[in-house]
């Protein structure tokens, strides 16, 4: 449509020139060249503008995994995870995103075990959101999006890194102080119970010159006492305690407690011997449970895998009692997933280039402590991961 006025102008000029019989072929060719250059410039601007508004990113990970759980046969398996997302910047400070990922309906894992004779693997909706940044230092999001809460050191004491809440969130961060509020549906259909969870988190960050310090706190409420499980088998509470009217079938299984979680955390980032070092601690207590209500984690990370030949290593110790947090959303790898576990996690990573890395992770855990069946749980994972954007 933008070419029409130009075309009409050229036609009018040509008509006028023809009527006067004064235009030369050379002048006409020059006019055509100018029109072609202008049209190309307009098209190029349109294409560039569109490309700048669209962003594509994703990653692929191949994992070999060995699980040695006391009382069970040793398990070896290969797994893959593939994720891709597209986001578009719209007028008026709006961003819309859509992401797909491998996996099942598991809310805290996008891994899929390979095999089955080369059978096709599931692809699921991982992200679907709109966000608005029209207010200073503020972002408002709705839909299915990445967890907006800070996880110090990337630990999974309260939240697994793959969890994507579904609801509404608002975050504010001016570089020194920050705050986030989230409302999310664990079951958004009233026929299924409409379990709703909400939480707030806030804190401050400061630069001391030789180190950066972050301190924060949060409160999260998940009201599931007397409610059925929202994912998995009827009696699968992911480490939490529940009661079944018929434990054999099982049937009539409900949670024993609500999860009114109070969290405090801290993180210090500095440099030692020329290497970036991150120390972190996280503590949580459920105000509703009578006992087995506390969890904590401490850890350190050294270096950063960000280019060829760069190393990264880390260590974490975690003690997460059965009803300290809502187990479904906690780390899906530590102790086999969920709560009611304690132990160590250590890893080392090596950068192959800016977009590829190797990582080896080892868990030495004890699980099912409050459940009355404490046993060792060891897990080794070897990953190669590629990312693009």
- Is residue 5 situated within a structural domain? no
The CA angle 282-288-292, to the nearest 5 degrees, is: 60
Whole-number percent of the chain with pLDDT over 90:
82
What pLDDT does residue 288 have? 98
**Averaged pLDDT, 77-87:** 98
- Is residue 52 situated within a structural domain? no
Both structure tokens of 185: 């549906």
Long-range contacts of 189-194 (CB under 8 A, 24+ apart): 192/230, 193/227, 193/228, 193/230
- Is residue 41 situated within a structural domain? no
Domain of residue 346, CATH code: 2.40.160.10
User: Which of 40-54, 112-126, 259-273 comes out lowest in average pLDDT?
Assistant: 40-54
For every residue of 42-53, DSSP letters joined together read HHHHHHHHHHHH
| CA–CA dist 137, 128 (Å, integer) | 22
What pLDDT does residue 26 have? 75
What pLDDT does residue 193 have? 53
User: CA separation (Å) from 321 to 235, 318, 327, 341, 363?
Assistant: 18, 10, 10, 6, 17
- Is residue 96 situated within a structural domain? yes
Q: How many domains does the chain have?
A: 1
Mean pLDDT estimate for the chain: 91
Confidence band (pLDDT; 50, 70, 90) for 46? low
**Averaged pLDDT, 208-217:** 97
What pLDDT does residue 159 have? 99
The CA angle 216-219-223, to the nearest 5 degrees, is: 160
- Is residue 36 situated within a structural domain? no
What pLDDT does residue 43 have? 63
- Is residue 21 situated within a structural domain? no
Confidence band (pLDDT; 50, 70, 90) for 7? very low
- Residue-range definition of the domain harbouring residue 204: 59-388
- Is residue 110 situated within a structural domain? yes
Q: What share of the chain is helix, strand, coil (3-state, %, to 5)?
A: 15, 50, 35
- Is residue 184 situated within a structural domain? yes
Confidence band (pLDDT; 50, 70, 90) for 217? very high
Predicted TM-score (pTM) of this structure = 0.86
pLDDT of residue 8 exceeding 80, the answer is no
pLDDT per residue as tens digits for the range 133-187: 999 999 999 999 999 999 999 999 999 999 999 999 999 999 999 999 999 998 7
**Averaged pLDDT, 27-48:** 68
pLDDT of residue 191 exceeding 70, the answer is no
Confidence band (pLDDT; 50, 70, 90) for 33? confident
**Averaged pLDDT, 297-301:** 99
What pLDDT does residue 194 have? 59
Confidence band (pLDDT; 50, 70, 90) for 30? confident
């Amino acid at each position: 449509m933008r070419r029409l006025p130009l075309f009409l102008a050229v036609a009018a000029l040509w008509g006028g020139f023809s009527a006067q019989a004064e235009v030369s072929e050379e002048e006409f060719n020059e006019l055509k060249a100018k029109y072609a250059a202008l049209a190309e410039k307009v098209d190029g601007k349109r294409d560039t503008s569109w490309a700048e508004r669209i962003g594509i990113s994703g990653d692929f990970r191949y994992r070999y995994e060995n699980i040695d759980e006391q009382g069970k046969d040793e398990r070896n398996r290969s797994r893959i995870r593939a994720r891709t997302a597209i986001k578009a910047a719209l007028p008026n400070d709006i961003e819309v995103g859509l992401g797909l990922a491998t996996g099942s309906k598991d809310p805290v894992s996008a891994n899929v075990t390979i095999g089955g004779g080369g059978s096709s693997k599931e692809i699921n909706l991982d992200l679907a959101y709109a966000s608005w940044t029209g207010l200073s230092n503020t972002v408002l999001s709705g839909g299915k999006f990445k967890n907006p809460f800070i996880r110090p050191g990337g630990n999974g004491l309260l939240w697994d890194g793959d969890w994507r809440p579904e609801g509404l969130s608002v975050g504010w961060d001016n570089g020194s102080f920050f705050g986030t509020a989230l409302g999310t549906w664990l079951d958004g259909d009233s026929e299924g119970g409409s379990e709703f969870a909400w939480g707030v988190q806030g804190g401050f960050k400061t630069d001391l010159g030789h180190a950066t310090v972050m301190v924060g706190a949060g409160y999260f409420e998940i009201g599931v006492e007397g409610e059925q499980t929202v994912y998995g088998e009827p009696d699968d509470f992911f480490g939490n305690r529940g009661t079944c009217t018929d434990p054999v079938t099982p049937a009539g299984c409900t949670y024993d407690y609500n999860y009114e979680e109070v969290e405090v955390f801290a993180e210090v980032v500095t440099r030692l011997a020329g290497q970036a070092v991150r120390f972190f601690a996280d503590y949580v207590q459920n105000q509703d449970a009578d006992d087995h209500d506390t969890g904590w984690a401490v850890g350190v990370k050294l270096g950063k895998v960000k280019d060829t030949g760069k190393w990264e290593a880390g260590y974490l110790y975690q003690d997460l009692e059965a009803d300290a947090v809502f187990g479904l959303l906690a780390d899906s790898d530590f102790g086999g997933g969920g709560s009611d576990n304690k132990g160590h996690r250590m890893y080392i990573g090596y950068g192959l280039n800016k977009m590829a890395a190797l990582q080896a992770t080892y868990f030495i855990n004890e699980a099912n402590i409050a459940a009355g069946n404490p046993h060792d749980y060891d897990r080794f994972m070897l990953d190669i991961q590629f990312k693009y954007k």
